[in-house]
Homo-oligomer: A and B are copies of this chain.
Amino acid sequence: MSLVVTRLSQLFVRTLREDPAEAEVASHRLLVRAGYIRRQAAGIFAWLPLGLRVKARIEQIIREEMTAAGAQEVHFPALMPREPYQATGRWDEYGDLLFRLQDRKGGDYLLAPTHEEAFTLLVKDLYSSYKDLPLTIYQIQDKYRDEARPRAGLLRGREFTMKDAYSFDHTDEGLDRSYQAQRDAYERIFQRLGLEYAIVQADAGAMGGSRSEEFLHPTPVGEDTFVRSEGGYAANVEAYTTTAPEPVPFDGLPEPVVFDSPGTTTIQTLVAHANDVLEGEWTAADTLKNVVLALTHLDGTRELVVVGIPGDRDIDDKRVEVAFAPAEVEPATDADFEANPLLVRGFIGPWSATGPILGEESATGIRYLLDPRVVDGTRWITGANQADRHVHGLVAGRDFTADGFVEAATVRDGDPAPDGSGPVTLARGMEIGHVFQLGRKYAEALGLKVLDENGKLVTVTMGSYGIGVTRILAIIAELSHDEKGLIWPESVAPFDVHVVATGKGDEAFALAERLVADLESARLDVLYDDRPKVSPGVKFGDAELIGVPKLVVVGRGAADGMVELWDRRTGDREVVPFADAVARLTA
Chain A contacts to B: CB under 8 angstroms: 2, 4, 10-14, 35, 38, 40-41, 44-49, 52, 63-64, 67-68, 70, 72-81, 96, 99-101, 103-104, 107, 109, 111, 118, 122, 125-127, 135, 137, 142, 144, 146, 148, 158-159
- Contact of B79 with A99 in the complex, beta carbons under 8 Å: yes
Query: In the complex, what residues of B have CB within 8 A of residue A125's CB?
Result: 38
Pairwise interchain contact B64-A52, C-beta atoms closer than 8 A = no
> Is B12's CB under 8 angstroms from A135's CB?
yes
Known: A35-B126, A79-B44. A70 touches B10 (CB 8 A): yes
A75: chain B residues within 8 A (beta carbon): 46-47, 52
B103 near A101 (CB under 8 angstroms)?
no
Cβ-defined partner of A73 (8 Å) among B49, B142, B144, B146:
B49
Given A101-B99, A111-B79 in contact, is the A47-B35 Cβ separation under 8 Å? no
Contact yes or no, A40 B81, CB < 8 A: yes
Nearest residue, chain B, Cβ from A131: B9
Report the copy number of this chain in the oligomer.
2
Q: Give chain B residues whose Cβ lies under 8 Å from the Cβ of A52.
A: 73-75
> A2–B67 contact, CB under 8 A?
yes
Closest 7 pairs (CB-CB, A-B): A101-B101, A47-B75, A14-B126, A41-B81, A96-B104, A2-B67, A12-B72
Known contacts A52-B74, A75-B47, A103-B99, A109 near B41 by CB under 8 Å: yes
Contact of A74 among B49, B78, B81, B142 (CB under 8 A): B49
| Partner of A64 from B2, B111, B148 at Cβ < 8 Å | B2
Provided the pairs A12-B126, A48-B74 are in contact, do residues A40 and B142 lie with their beta carbons within 8 angstroms? no
Task: Determine which of B10, B38, B63, B144 lies in contact with A2 in the assembled complex, contact meaning CB atoms within 8 Å.
Answer: B63
Give bound CA distance, A16 to B149, whole Å: 47
Question: Which of these, B40, B64, B127, contacts A80 with CB under 8 Å?
Answer: B40
Inside 8 A of A80's CB, which chain B residues have their CB?
40-41, 44
Q: Which of B13, B77, B111 contacts A44 (CB 8 A)?
A: B77
A100 to chain B, nearest CB (A): 7
**Assembled-state Cα–Cα distance A137/B111 (Å):** 27
* Of the residues B46, B126, B146, contact of A103 by C-beta under 8 Å: B146
Q: Can you pick out 10 interface pairs between chain A and chain B where the beta carbons lie within 8 Å of each other?
A: A10-B72, A41-B109, A44-B81, A46-B74, A47-B74, A47-B76, A48-B74, A52-B75, A77-B159, A142-B142
**B-chain residues with CB within 8 Å of residue A49 when the two chains form the complex:** 72-74, 137
The CA-CA distance from A14 to B127 in the complex, in Å, is 7
Please indicate the chain B residues that have their CB under 8 angstroms from the CB of A126 in the complex. 12-14, 35, 38
Contacts of A73 in B (CB 8 A): 49, 52
Main secondary structure of the interface of A (DSSP, over half): mixed
Given contacts A4-B67, A125-B38, A137-B12, contact A45 B77 (CB under 8 A): yes
User: A99 — which chain B residues lie within 8 A by C-beta?
Assistant: 79, 101, 103, 109
A77 to B122, CA, bound (A): 26
Closest Cβ of chain B: how far from A440's Cβ, in Å?
Answer: 20
| Contact between B122 and A46, CB atoms less than 8 A apart | yes
CB contact under 8 A between A118 and B40, given known A126-B13, A142-B77, A146-B103 = yes
Q: Which residues of B contact A118 (CB under 8 A)?
A: 40, 46
The answer to whether B74 and A104 have CB atoms under 8 Å apart is: no
Query: Could you tell me the distance in whole angstroms from the C-beta of A117 to the nearest C-beta in chain B?
Result: 11
Closest to A67 in B: B2
Q: Least Cβ distance of A3 to chain B in Å?
A: 9
Residues in B neighbouring A96, C-beta threshold 8 A: 104
Name the CB-closest residue of B to A107. B41
Min CB–CB distance A551 → chain B (angstroms): 22
Inter-chain contact B12/A104, CB cutoff 8 Å: no
A22 shortest CB reach to chain B, Å: 14
- A79 to B150: give the CA distance in the assembly, Å: 15
Which chain B residues border A35 with CB–CB below 8 Å?
Answer: 126
Question: Which residues of B are found within 8 Å of A4, using beta-carbon distances?
Answer: 67-68
For the complex, give the distance between the alpha carbons of A159 and B103 in Å: 12
- Given A14-B127, A118-B46, A135-B12, A40 and B100 contact (CB-CB distance below 8 Å): no
Give A192 to B142 CA distance when docked, in angstroms.
30
Q: A99-B101, A99-B109, A142-B142 are in contact. List 4 more A-B contacts (CB 8 A).
A: A2-B63, A45-B77, A46-B74, A49-B73
Q: Bound state CA distance, A100 and B103, in angstroms?
A: 8
A63 and B1 CA atoms in complex are apart in Å by: 8
- Closest-by-CB residue of B relative to A46 is B76
Residues A38 and B122 in contact, CB atoms below 8 Å apart: yes
Chain B residues lying within 8 Å of A68, measured Cβ to Cβ, are: 4
Contact check, B79 vs A159: say whether CB atoms are below 8 A apart: yes
A181: shortest Cβ distance to chain B, in Å?
13
Chain B residues in 8 Å Cβ range of A79: 41, 44, 99, 111, 144, 158-159
Chain B residues with Cβ below 8 Å from A14 are 126-127
